[in-house]
Amino acid sequence: MGFSSPEDGGHALDLSAEAARGLPVFGVALRYPAGHVVPRHEHPYGHLIYADRGLLRVEAESGQWLVPPTAAVWLRSGVPHQLTAPVALQAHGLFVREDVCARLPAADCVVHVSGLVRELIMALARADDKANNKAASSRRMRLLGALLIDELRAPPVLPLHLPWPPSGADSLVRHVCQALLDNPGDAATAAEWAGRLAMGGKTFHRRFLQSTGMTFGKWRQQLRLMSSLTPLMQGIPITQVALASGYDSHSAYTTAFSRQFGQPPSAFAANT
C-alpha cells in the first residue's frame, strides 16, 4: 500500500502514531482514481491489501495479483511491490507487526475475504485516531486485530496469482511475458514465439517453465483470465471480453473461467 494519496496532494501518510502505540495491526484507507499507480515500495510490516470496490493490481518480484472485492493480497514484510488501479476504487491497507506475521501465511498470496473479514479490515483501516479515550480505542483495535489474525490463519489461497520471471531470469522469457501482458489476446502459439526468438520449440518450453514455474499454455490462460476481470467489472459484454482475451467464443471463455474461478463470468460480474 502506498504512503501517499492522490486526494491529499501526494503528502506522505504518517503511520508512526499507530506503530508507536504498539498495535499488532493498524491501517489506512485511500481512494485511487482509474489508472493511478503507486510506485514500487516496501514496508517493515506484513501487509494486507484490500479494495472494497473495483479491481486492484499488485505487482511484486514473484508475480502479479489482481484483487476483486472478494479477495485481498497478503505480502510478507519487506516485499517490494507496486499498485495499479485499473478502475477507480477505495483501497484498505493493513500493516501487521513482524512478531504477529508468524501466525499468517509464510508466502505472498491472495486470500478470500469473507463478510466478517471485510468488516474487520474496514474497521481497522478506518479506526479513529482522534478518539477521546485513547486507551479504549487501542483496546478495541487490539481485539479487532486479534480476531482478524485468527480468521486469516489458514485462509484458502485463491487462483489470482500470475508468476513472473524474476530479475536476472531469462530476458527473452520476460520479453514474451511482457508482450502478452500488453496484449492478452495475442494468438501466437508457442512454436511461433520460438520462431520469433530463433530457438527450438523444446528449448522455448523448457526456458519458459524454468522462468515462471508454469507451462506456456497454462501461464497464458492464467494471464488471459486474470486480465479479463477488469473489463468484466466495467460492464463490458462477456462475448466482447472473451474475444479480446483471445478466446474463440463466449462458451469457450465461460468454460475456462468457471474452471479457474469456480463460477461463470456472469456471476463474477454480478457479485462485484
Q: What is the pLDDT of residue 128?
A: 54
Residue position matching grid coordinates 491501517:
27
Task: Choose between 131 and 11: higher pLDDT.
Answer: 131
In this predicted structure, the answer to whether residue 132 has a pLDDT above a threshold of 80 is no
Task: Choose between 242 and 9: higher pLDDT.
Answer: 242
In this predicted structure, the answer to whether residue 198 has a pLDDT above a threshold of 90 is yes
In this predicted structure, the answer to whether residue 191 has a pLDDT above a threshold of 60 is yes
- Segment 183-204 mean pLDDT: 94
Give percent of the chain above pLDDT 70: 87
- Segment 15-40 mean pLDDT: 80
Q: What is the pLDDT of residue 205?
A: 96
Residue 158 has phi, psi (to 5 degrees) of: -95, 150
Asked whether the beta carbons of 107 and 60 are under 8 A apart, the reply is: no
pLDDT class of 23 with cuts at 50, 70, 90: confident
Strands 89-96, 37-41: pairing kind: unpaired
In this predicted structure, the answer to whether residue 168 has a pLDDT above a threshold of 80 is no
pLDDT class of 20 with cuts at 50, 70, 90: very low
Residue 204, by phi and psi: left (phi above 0), alpha (psi -120 to 50) or beta? Answer: alpha
How do residues 68-86 score in pLDDT, each as one tens digit? 888 899 999 999 999 998 8
How do residues 88-130 score in pLDDT, each as one tens digit? 888 999 999 999 998 898 888 888 888 899 999 999 988 655 4
Question: What is the distance between the alpha carbons of residues 123 and 125, in angstroms, rounded to a whole number?
Answer: 6
- Segment 247-263 mean pLDDT: 93
**Hey, what's the cell of 76?**
510478507
Q: What is the pLDDT of residue 107?
A: 87
Q: What is the pLDDT of residue 93?
A: 93
Average pLDDT, the chain: 85
